[in-house]
Amino acid sequence: MDAILAFIPPEHRIEYSAMTGQSLFYMGEQDLKHKVLAIVEEQGASRAAYALKLLQSEGVLTIASTGKDPVTGRLVTQQYRVEGPVMIFLTTTAIDIDDELLNRCLVLTVNEDRAQTQAIHRMQRERQTIEGLLARVEREEILKVHRNAQRLLKPLSVVNPYARELTFPDNLTRTRRDHTKYLALINSIALLHQHQRPVETAVRRSQTISYIEVTLDDIERANRIAHEVLGRSLDELPPQTRRLLLLIDDMVRGECERLKMERSDFRFSRRDVRARTGWGDTQLKFHLHRLEELEYLLVHRGGRGQSFVYELLYERGGEDGRAVMPGLIDVERLRYDGKKSGVNGQKSGSQGEKSGSGRPQVGGMSGGGRGAPESITTGLPDAFPAVSAKTHINGAAENHGPRVVTAQS
């Protein structure tokens, strides 16, 4: 949390250790708008959970409260209003978290692998050297560049010309919320590259709307992030339980190869898992019980009185067991469809011309095509490579055809 917040300009973030149940309702109307509200520990916000969920889903909080009229002294009803949108940032070590709060959030977990621990120890030792001292000084300069780069981002509408072709899993009701997270992720990536995109305009009833367009590269980046983040959010197992399952799978695979026996015949105890993983007994009891309930483990009575042993009913499908978000469209398919339609490999007839059953017009675009490519550059320093790309604008085959925007960063 501290590392991420360090990249955000101080005027755009609010940090608290804890919040009371009514504290959010009595903030200033604009105090939280377009800010990051960071609460150090989820337990410290438990009493404010109802208000947090409302603010996240509705984008506004309102409360009617009784107060004294300063003139007459009579009790009157006063209305308080707090406006969003606001990004809520929480951390927790709790294993069980409110499901209604979880499905409104993106869930990230700490890497607890041994290799990561070794890397952290290496960095901690490095900080004690002269190079570490100089790196801390340089760190502030790097953070300053990132904060200033974010200050350059302007409020701007984002249009996704590929929105109708996108796919998303629909087998669970909760994916109605997760789908909006996915679409917002694509828009956020496009907005971050606003200085590398031409700003288009559309006129509707004498009102001019400025916007930038999503590219296929934005969707490809969003898909990579969605597999890791939304894939875990839709997993029936919490990240810690999933990690234990993969560790048990590694143990069973290795022992079965060593003993030359079938997985269905191999039995192991909680003590075996504790010795292999180094996890504490209390922690193991909780996660093994969850794996039993979800039928990843089958319990057998052991040969020593009341002891129990386990059989693993799970086998890893992929090579690395990484989270996967099923149902997302393959971006290469969109690129292929674009090439097949004959419009510079990008969009299929979103302007006046259509090829086959092309999509209807997605927004007004002024002017005709351009013959020669242009380069749009920003005044940002080279220290911020994410916004130092060039944008090429290619004219269509005819003057009245659609313009195609591709960005390489």
| Nearest by Cα to 214 from 158, 164, 169 | 158
CATH T-level assignment (fold) for domain 239-312 = Arc Repressor Mutant, subunit A (1.10.10)
pLDDT at 242: 83
Measured between its terminal Cα atoms, the distance across the chain in Å is 27
Residue 348 · residue 409 · CB < 8 Å: no
- Identify the segments of the chain with pLDDT beneath 70: 95-96, 232-235, 302-306, 317-324, 338-409
Which residues have a Cβ under 8 Å from the Cβ of 59 and sit 6 or more positions away? 83, 84, 85
Residue 365 · residue 351 · CB < 8 Å: yes
Q: Where are the domains of the chain?
A: 2-105, 152-234+326-408, 239-312
pLDDT at 219: 94
Residue-wise pLDDT tens digits, 208-242: 889 999 999 999 999 988 887 887 666 677 778 88
Residue-wise pLDDT tens digits, 25-46: 888 888 888 899 998 887 777 7
